[in-house]
Amino acid sequence: MWRHEEVRIEGIYRADRRDTFVTRSMESAELEYGGIPGDLHFGWTKKAGAREPMYPRGTEIFNRRQVSVASVEECTRIAEELGIEEVRPEWLGANLAITGYPELSRLSPGSRIIFPDGAGLLCEGENLPCIQPGKILQQRFPDQPQLASRFVKASRGLRGIVCVVEKPGPIRRGETATLAICRSRAENES
């Protein structure tokens, strides 16, 4: 049922400025139910938006994207695809950046990230690309044509995952966490 992999927490970030979704680096954070306190996406509930077309826009719903996690390896692939130097996790609005699991965006929902002090994240699935980070990239690399629109296609399947805080607790940059990968029935039967 479960397969385990080790990953390194390369960065912890929070979107704590009123005018932008771009996150800023932190040494450590306290995961609480709802996410990282002070972060733009923190909360038990959220307002339904473009990603939840089954609800009228603005409806209060459960927040399943409390914490977003990016893979450093996938960020590198997006940068290569776009022909730019780098794509920083902060520019995607990521809360965590990890190395050691280059296929992060394909992590099966129901998988967990377990931290050394016992905190845990529950993977809710792939983070879907939106155009906003592309606009940030365009500001950073003004000489590159049409980065904003090219970003969505270039980052498809590489945007990392969204998670719910399953178990609160402290997390620190540089520590090693364990991925508990939920295997599908097909994998279990093979």
Which one of 43, 100, 109, 116 is in contact with a copy of itself (CB under 8 A)?
109
| 25 is an interface residue for a copy of itself by CB under 8 A | no
Q: Which stretch in 67-75, 116-124, 131-139, 142-150 sits in contact with a copy of itself by CB under 8 A? A: 116-124
3-state secondary structure the chain: CEEEEEEEEEEEEECCCCCCCCCEEECEEEEECCECCCCCCCCCEEECCCCCCCCCCCCEEECCCCEEEEEHHHHHHHHHHHCCCCCCHHHHCCCEEEECCCCHHHCCCCCEEECCCCCEEEEEEECCCCCHHHHHHHHHCCCCCCHHHHHHHHCCCCCCEEEEEEECEEEECCCEEEEEEECCHHHHHC
| 122 is an interface residue for a copy of itself by CB under 8 A | yes
Size of the site for a copy of itself (CB under 8 A): 34
Residues 138-167 that bind a copy of itself (CB under 8 A): 156-157, 164-167
Smallest distance from the beta carbon of 99 to a copy of itself, in angstroms? 21
Our CB check for a copy of itself shows the closer of 139 and 184 to be: 184
Smallest distance from the beta carbon of 148 to a copy of itself, in angstroms? 21
| 99 is an interface residue for a copy of itself by CB under 8 A | no
Residues forming contacts to a copy of itself in the complex (CB under 8 A) are 2, 33, 44-45, 53-55, 59-62, 64, 106, 108-110, 112, 114, 118, 120, 122, 124-126, 156-157, 164-167, 178, 180, 182, 185
